[in-house]
Amino acid sequence: MKDGWARQQAARFLRVSTIGPRLRVVQRIEFTGLYPWQWTPAEGEAFIAELRGGSSPVLMSTARGYEVIITLFMEYLLDRRYGWVEECLSRFGDTPRAVFHEGNSVLHTVEYEGDPRRRPLTYDEVQALFDAADARPQRIRGQGRKGALTALRDAAVLKTVYAFGTRRTESSRVDLVDLRRNRKAPRFGGYGSMMVRFGKSSKGAPPKRRTVLLVPEMDWVVDVLDDYITQVRPQLSPGAHPALWVSERVGRLSPRSINEAFVAARQDAGLDESLDLCCLRHSYITHLTEFGYPARFVQEQVGHSHAATTAIYMSVSNEYRTALLEASMRKRLGEDWDVVS
């Protein structure tokens, strides 16, 4: 059954990294000692109840993910085209059945169920993060330790992630050739746009591509990138390696290393430990909105298929909302607004 389900998913061009964990979830429910055609809703409920117990209870979103995986597996077994129902009935006098249903599964009632502490950084926090990243190379040199050169690279990475709103994996996979001119903004030189060729993909689909345009409010990153590419990167001896961000071992900088660079700068800046690298992307979306860019433009910049997804990442300031309200009231009341205010 598991082999057949794996082949079905492979035929849909799902990745091995997707299929493998799904099979492991199905194997975990086998703690009941029963075969899949013997599973009932009670076994599914016991599985989730066990995950919720202990010192590290599972998150609601994780529990839903497990329920979805088991449901997909049972749907495969119940599909008459594969013959498992007839086979089980013939051999064991029993058939597979749905394990999770509306009455015993986690309901998806809100759009975002992640850690509520994750949020966009304020402008002051972004500056504090970058100041801390900029201070690391000098401090490392002063301590006589190795790593000043990679600290310079890490500071440039974090600033570029924020300036273009890219994900960690997207940032890791950017090559030098992906930085291009924007003929509508020649003053940005060769850094007017970034081609993201390895964007987050849907299940069974190839990576999504998009071009992120550099906005005027982020034009300071031009000097950051130019300094890194002309001064810092050559000292890492990358040779013919195409990656924009290279490691000291002449390889592509990994997403994990980018995470670690953020954590190091966050700790030095004394920022909330619940903030992570993805918060820079939240900040990018929020700040572009506050700069006045249309929602559709922001959505295209960050590569979201749906506007609702972009809205989840956005958390504009009270000052921005107050300014919008004031502009709306002025438009509606005209000269009377000055009297009212």
Confidence of residue 340 (pLDDT cuts 50, 70, 90): very low
Average pLDDT over residues 233-250: 94
Among 110-124, 188-202, 215-229, name the most confident range: 215-229
* pLDDT tens digits along 290-300: 898 988 999 99
Ranges 195-199, 226-230, 301-305, 323-327: which has the least confidence: 323-327
pLDDT for res 123: 93
pLDDT for res 212: 96
Confidence of residue 252 (pLDDT cuts 50, 70, 90): very high
Please write down the HEC assignment for all residues of the chain. CHHHHHHHHHHCCCCHHHHHHHHHHHHHHHHHCCCHHHCCHHHHHHHHHHHHCCCCCCCHHHHHHHHHHHHHHHHHHHCHHHCHHHHHHHHHCCCCCCCCCCCCCCCCCCCCCCCCCCCCCCHHHHHHHHHHHHHHHHHHHHCCCCCHHHHHHHHHHHHHHHHHCCCHHHHHCCEHHHEECCCCCHHHHHHCEEEEEEECCCCCCCCEEEEEECCHHHCCHHHHHHHHHHHHHHHHCCCCCCECCECCCCCECCHHHHHHHHHHHHHHHCCCCCCCCHHHHHHHHHHHHHCCCCHHHHHHHHCCCCHHHHHHHCCCCHHHHHHHHHHHHHHHHCCHHHHHC
- Going by C-alpha positions, the residue among 98, 215, 232 that lies closest to residue 152 is 232
Average pLDDT over residues 313-331: 61
**What percent of the chain clears pLDDT 90, i.e. is strictly above it?**
66
pLDDT for res 337: 47
Which one is predicted more confidently, 112 or 148? 148
Is the per-residue pLDDT at 118 higher than 80?
no
> Virtual CA dihedral for 7, 13, 19, 22, nearest 10 degrees?
-100
Is the per-residue pLDDT at 61 higher than 50?
yes
* pLDDT tens digits along 22-31: 999 999 887 7
pLDDT for res 261: 97
